[in-house]
Amino acid sequence: MLVDAVTDYAIYMLDPTGIVSSWNPGARRFKGYEEAEIIGQHFSRFYTDEDRATELPRRALETAEREGKFESEGWRVHKDGSRFWAFVIIDPIRDNAGKLVGFAKVTRDLTERREAEAELRRNQEQFRLLVQGVTDYAIYLLNPEGLVSSWNAGAERIKGYFPEEIIGRHFSLFYTDGDREAGLPGVALETARREWRYEREAQRVRKDGTTFWAHVVLDAIHDTEGALIGFAKITRDITERKTAEEKLERTREALVQSQKMEAIGHLTGGVAHDFNNLLMAIQGSLELLKRRLPVSDVQLHQFLDNAMQGAQRGAALTQRMLAFARRQDLTLQTVDVTELIHGMADLLQSSLGAGIQIETRFSLGLPKVAADANQLELAILNLSMNARDAMPKGGSIIISARERKVTDEAGLKPGSYLCLSVKDTGVGMDEQTLRRAIEPFYTTKGVGKGTGLGLPMVLGMAEQSGGRLYLKSKPGEGTIAEICLPVALAEEREDEDRQVTPAAARVTRPLRIVSADDDPLVAFNTLAMLEDLGHTVFSAGSGAEALSLISEKGGIDLLITDQAMPGMTGSELVAEVYRQWPNLPVIIATGYAELPEGPARSVPRLAKPFFEQDLADAIAGIARLSDKAG
């Protein structure tokens, strides 16, 4: 009854020769034979042709008789000829005397299990091929102690080790010395053990000792009962991504810095312009007052001289601010840098002191540059003074120049440039100080020892001239400041008609002048100066009022106008004057360098703040031009 009840196993008897002598329902279900069809038949018919050809049925019975048991897995055949995978056990049956009377044969159909195992093997092989085929990721296994137990092609490519070189070694080998000393490999394993996962971006080390940026994921692997059996580690080389991110960050920082400097430049330019007007009122009033004081009152003259010197220092400060804001009035001309430096050698030496040695290195045949000679001289003096201050115990300054060709560089147009450098042997600057060095009002010289406008002025002059300022410095290695200016395209002859008339020149006749300025303080001083020079003056507070005065008064010889006025700018006033009175001379008095396109670009300019002598010289130059035209 027990045997007949079993349907998952084929259980049947064979006689000593292998003839089937019993058949249970399980055998009928597996094999497909009814009991009447199979009893009396040899059990070899269940074997494949290949197994019968090798006499496997006979050998199975002999093994069972000899060894007491035969056990194997293999293909067997259904009645319909189809195959199934079977697990077979053959046991010999003996009587009480030990005589062989037959065999008990138990067969189990393992086809589904074998197919599942085969599918698992196929999946494992596919996974192995997949892991081995991945070359962009290092994928490998660690045992619970952190020893490498597998190694894929990606790990070999990224880390540089062959499998036989690394399997069995501890994964901390991939960490930097500093990370190993800090115990980070152990932290990674412990975190993955505790939280089942560890993820980080850090530098790792290749076999050749070079480092790379890696994105690391470490996953804990547990068996079905939850016991830790190891770790799966995936590493990706993200050096290119990190490099791109760092480059993007530097670009972003440069953009922010550029925007900040531009904003500061606008603010500085506006402040300098307003401050110029204030200085104009102070300076002009002091000068007029001094002219009216008795010569005998020496003490009052000393007070006035002191006040005027303060005003002049303020004017120099505003010029530096305007230089940084690229709004100073540059007179570009052809400059021989070699001659310029040699010409100011005595000035440099006396300004820097005996503890500083000055050395010049200029090769023959250096081209001339297009620059404002006075501003370039001031820039060199500023750089030299900075170099001196960086060498409190003395040292040497090397001033040199080289020609440079530019094809593609941010901030410079393609062409030829002359690069003038000032190199010192001072304390140098760290990276943070170097980045801030060109910011206006930033100084390392202490309170009262520097305005923080020297380098910004040089930067503004260089960029306004179409060039660029470069700074290179390291702590303890000194500093190199290099101004690159565009090479003059051709020798330009000085236009004598545009030169400022020497102080000796004077206007021999009084003129009828309209003076336009919206600032009452400046307007009052300008009026007083012009009257002091003997001219008849009509003061206007706006461009529209100036046009009315020219039309009403008639016989106007000259218009002097400010540029920044509400309603109508000086440039717009000039354009309208030239439309109605094309022969009327005009002078624009302004602290700004830039003027919009139009007739005002060719008008003589008088830089604010100015002295009465500057005003007289400008008027003399206009009169001289008028006389020539007449």
pLDDT digits (tens, 9 = 90+) for 421-454: 999 988 888 888 877 777 665 666 554 455 556 6
Cβ atoms within 10 Å of 535's Cβ, excluding its own? 21
Distance CA 265, CA 270 (A): 8
- Report the pLDDT value the prediction gives residue 443, as an integer from 0 to 100: 67
- Report the pLDDT value the prediction gives residue 576, as an integer from 0 to 100: 92
- Both structure tokens of 348: 């440099």
- Report the pLDDT value the prediction gives residue 448, as an integer from 0 to 100: 45
Instruction: Provide the pairing of β-strand 586-590 with 558-562.
Output: parallel
- Report the pLDDT value the prediction gives residue 269, as an integer from 0 to 100: 58
pLDDT(5) > 90? no
- Element of type H or E holding 221: strand 211-222
- Report the pLDDT value the prediction gives residue 625, as an integer from 0 to 100: 54
- Both structure tokens of 212: 């790379």
Least confident range of 11-20, 401-410, 506-515, 579-588: 506-515
Over the stretch 387-423, which tens digit does the pLDDT of each residue have?
888 888 888 999 999 998 888 776 788 889 999 999 9
Indicate the domain borders of the chain.
2-111, 134-237, 246-323, 333-486, 501-629
Over the stretch 314-369, which tens digit does the pLDDT of each residue have?
766 666 555 555 455 566 788 899 888 888 888 788 778 888 888 888 888 889 99
pLDDT(262) > 70? no
Superfamily of segment(s) 134-237? PAS domain (3.30.450.20)
Q: Is it true that domain 501-629 has CATH number 3.90.1520.10?
A: no
Fold of 2-111: Beta-Lactamase (3.30.450)
Looking at the domain covering 246-323, what would its CATH class be? mainly alpha
Q: Where in 407-478 does DSSP place strands (E)?
A: 415-424, 468-473
Which strands sit side by side in the sheet containing 536-540, from one edge to the other?
Answer: 536-540, 512-516, 558-562, 586-590, 605-607
Distance CA 59, CA 119 (A): 32
Alpha helices (runs of H) in 325-438, residue ranges in sequence order: 337-343, 345-352, 373-389, 431-436
**Nearest Cα residue to 147 out of 233, 234, 236:** 233
Q: Count CA atoms within 13 Å of residue 542 on its CB side.
A: 6
Answer for the pair 589, 517: CB distance below 8 angstroms, yes or no. yes
- Report the pLDDT value the prediction gives residue 501, as an integer from 0 to 100: 38
- Both structure tokens of 126: 């596919």
Average pLDDT on 449-478 reads 79
- Report the pLDDT value the prediction gives residue 605, as an integer from 0 to 100: 83
**Residue 123's beta-bridge partner residues?**
none
Q: How does DSSP assign 104-118, residue by residue? A: EEEEEE-HHHHHHHH
Average pLDDT on 116-138 reads 69
Q: Chain-wide mean pLDDT for the chain?
A: 82
Over the stretch 187-239, which tens digit does the pLDDT of each residue have?
999 999 999 999 999 999 999 999 999 999 999 999 888 889 999 999 999 99
Q: Count CA atoms within 13 Å of residue 312 on its CB side.
A: 9
Distance CA 515, CA 357 (A): 51
**Nearest Cα residue to 417 out of 358, 475, 489, 471:** 489
Q: How does DSSP assign 304-340, residue by residue? A: HHHHHHHHHHHHHHHHHHHHHTT-S----EEE-HHHH
CATH number for the region 333-486 comes to 3.30.565.10
In terms of average pLDDT, the best of 112-126, 178-192, 614-628 is 178-192
Question: Do the two domains 134-237 and 501-629 of this chain adopt the same fold?
Answer: no
Global pTM reads 0.43
Terminal Cα-to-Cα distance of the chain (whole angstroms): 144
Instruction: Give me the helix-helix angle, 345-352 and 373-389, nearest 10°.
Output: 30
Over the stretch 485-535, which tens digit does the pLDDT of each residue have?
999 875 443 443 344 334 334 455 789 999 999 888 888 888 988 998 899
Instruction: Provide the pairing of β-strand 536-540 with 512-516.
Output: parallel
